[in-house]
Amino acid sequence: MVTISLCMIVKNEERILKRCLDSLRGLADEIIIVDTGSTDATKEIAAKYTDQIYDFAWTGSFSDARNFAFSKAKMEYIYSADADEVLDEENRAAFFRMKEVLLPEIEIVQMYYVNQLANGTIYNYDKELRPKLYKRNRTFCWQGAIHEQVGITPVIYDSEICIQHLPEGNHKDRDLAAFARLVEAGERLDKRLHNIYAKELFISGEAKDFLAARTFFQQSCRDEKRDGDELMEAACVAARAARLAGDTADFFKYAMKAVAAEGCAEICCELGAFYMEKQDYEEAVIWLYNAAYETESILDIHSGSDLPLRGLAKCYQELGNEEQAAEYAKREKNF
Residues 182 and 148 in one domain: no
In this prediction, residue 114 carries a pLDDT of 87
How far apart (Å, rounded) are the C-alpha atoms in residues 117 and 170?
11
- Percentage of the chain surpassing pLDDT 90? 79
| Structural contact between residues 63 and 132, judged by C-beta atoms closer than 8 angstroms | no
Query: Is residue 115 exposed (0-12), middle (13-18) or buried (19+ Cβ within 10 Å)?
Result: middle
Residues 183 and 299 in one domain: yes
pLDDT digits (tens, 9 = 90+) for 156-209: 999 999 999 888 766 778 889 889 988 998 889 999 999 999 999 999 899 999
In this prediction, residue 148 carries a pLDDT of 60
In this prediction, residue 117 carries a pLDDT of 58
Residues 189 and 330 in one domain: yes
| Structural contact between residues 310 and 302, judged by C-beta atoms closer than 8 angstroms | no
pLDDT digits (tens, 9 = 90+) for 12-63: 999 999 999 999 999 999 999 999 999 999 999 999 999 999 999 998 888 9
Bridge partners for 150 per DSSP: 142
> Which of 136, 165, 194 is the last residue in one of the domains?
165
Query: Is residue 25 exposed (0-12), middle (13-18) or buried (19+ Cβ within 10 Å)?
Result: exposed
In this prediction, residue 165 carries a pLDDT of 87
Q: Which domain holds residue 58?
A: 4-165
In this prediction, residue 107 carries a pLDDT of 95
Residues 155 and 177 in one domain: no
In this prediction, residue 146 carries a pLDDT of 61
Residues 131 and 192 in one domain: no
Residues 222 and 125 in one domain: no
pLDDT digits (tens, 9 = 90+) for 91-111: 999 999 999 999 999 999 999
Residues 39 and 156 in one domain: yes
- Residue 284 pLDDT exceeds 60: yes
In this prediction, residue 125 carries a pLDDT of 61
Residues 84 and 139 in one domain: yes
SS3 of 227, please? Answer: coil
| Structural contact between residues 135 and 108, judged by C-beta atoms closer than 8 angstroms | yes
The predicted model gives 224-245 an average pLDDT of 97
Q: Which one has a higher pLDDT value, 293 or 119?
A: 293
In this prediction, residue 151 carries a pLDDT of 75
> Which of 141, 165, 189 is the last residue in one of the domains?
165
In this prediction, residue 119 carries a pLDDT of 58
Residues 23 and 59 in one domain: yes
> Which of 137, 165, 193 is the last residue in one of the domains?
165
pLDDT digits (tens, 9 = 90+) for 117-159: 565 555 666 688 999 999 999 877 766 766 567 677 899 999 9
CATH for 261: 1.25.40.10
- Percentage of the chain surpassing pLDDT 70? 93
Domains: count for the chain: 2
How far apart (Å, rounded) are the C-alpha atoms in residues 218 and 229?
15
Residues 321 and 273 in one domain: yes
How far apart (Å, rounded) are the C-alpha atoms in residues 41 and 38?
8
Mean pLDDT computed over every residue of the chain: 92
- Residue 301 pLDDT exceeds 80: yes
CATH for 147: 3.90.550.10
Residues 43 and 178 in one domain: no
How far apart (Å, rounded) are the C-alpha atoms in residues 267 and 39?
43
Residues 148 and 273 in one domain: no
